[in-house]
Amino acid sequence: MSKYPENLTEITTFILDIDGVLTDGTVILEPTGDQTRTMNIKDGYALQLAVKRGYKVAIISGGKNEIVRKRFTGLGIHDVYMGASDKWDVFDELKLTYNLSNDEIAYMGDDIPDYEIMSKIGLPACPNDAATEIKSISQYISPINGGKGCVRDLIEKVLRAQDKWFNPNVNDEAKVW
């Protein structure tokens, strides 16, 4: 298994946790019982760009909020697994479905439920405010906290390493939903 930053050129797939990675981990409890989260628009831009540039993107979360699924499908991400009590089973299914090797996967997680997967893949990454155990196995620790653009930071690093981040001659008609 190669190490960061050399392995950036091997990445074809991004797998991400939601709470603590795409959100800051805060849950606002509404009087209706609904739970509200916020996400960073810069992460959204990078996610839809990665999809347009041919990368596989998957979301694996223990949460079950369907508005979150709608957010990601609006960005072009179709592999959105909500309510995943065992992330390993979903990860294993993704690998089989897309014939992925561990070395071509970047996984960004922030807490103990992400540990097993992160200990086996090519590029384990985490936000700056991740749990100590996750930081200890991460090859890349973003200087940015969860929910504040750490996903964009990771995606941008990979796409730049592969000369796919910015090309003024390509009109991606980037949409952010």
Calculate mean pLDDT across residues 121-149. 98
Q: Where are the domains of the chain?
A: 6-161
pLDDT computed for residue 167 by the predictor: 76
Of 14, 59, 61, 19, which Cα lies nearest the Cα of 38? 19
63-105 pLDDT per residue, tens:
888 888 999 999 999 999 999 989 999 999 999 999 999 999 9
Question: Tell me: the pLDDT tens digits for 5-39?
Answer: 999 999 999 999 999 999 999 999 999 988 889 99
pLDDT at 1: 54
| Topology of the domain comprising 6-161 | Rossmann fold (3.40.50)
Structure tokens at 115: 């540990």
Contact (Cβ atoms closer than 8 angstroms) between residue 92 and residue 49: no
* Closest C-alpha among 19, 20, 24, 71 to residue 47: 71
Q: Are 56 and 98 in contact (CB under 8 A)?
A: yes
**Distance in angstroms (rounded) separating the CA atoms of residues 1 and 9:** 13
